[in-house]
């Protein structure tokens, strides 16, 4: 069974940093591209970042470009999102998703990031 488990969320002050992790299991992680998607409270879904299976290709949404960094460790079956210079508007639940046949076929349960002073 495919499982994606996010962690690392929490309360952080504006301007601060957090590193989110996504632990993958139930599939050969290294074969798949992965994404981060977020959802602000009471709002819709926003794609943030993509990383290819080889880490050769990386993309970011304009809203996080230059502040967030996606990475992966295939040996540890893990996906990461380093978030710097956090703003109030970054408050959201952050999901990791697998990219396969179509897009975003599996999602984690999400981790909540709250940016507030």
| Residues within the interface to other proteins (CB under 8 A) | 35, 44-47, 50, 59-62, 95, 101-110
- Comparing CB distances to other proteins, the nearer of 82 and 100 is 100
Which H or E run includes 9?
none
* Minimum CB distance to other proteins, residue 73 (Å): 23
How far is the C-alpha of 64 from the C-alpha of 80, rounded, in Å? 14
- Comparing CB distances to other proteins, the nearer of 103 and 116 is 103
Residue 30 backbone phi and psi in degrees, to 5: -65, -15
Measured CA angle at 22 (ends 19, 28), to 5 deg: 140
- Comparing CB distances to other proteins, the nearer of 59 and 76 is 59
């Amino acid at each position: 069974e495919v499982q994606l488990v996010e962690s690392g969320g929490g309360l952080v002050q504006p301007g601060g940093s957090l590193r989110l992790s996504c632990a993958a299991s139930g599939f050969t992680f290294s074969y798949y591209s992965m994404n981060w998607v977020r959802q602000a409270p009471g709002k819709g879904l926003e794609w943030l970042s993509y990383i290819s299976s080889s880490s050769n290709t990386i993309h970011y949404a304009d809203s996080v470009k230059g502040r967030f960094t996606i990475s992966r460790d295939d040996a540890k079956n893990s996906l990461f999102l380093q978030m710097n210079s956090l703003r109030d508007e970054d408050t959201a639940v952050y999901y990791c998703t697998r990219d396969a046949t179509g897009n975003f076929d599996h999602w984690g349960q999400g981790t909540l990031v709250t940016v507030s002073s």
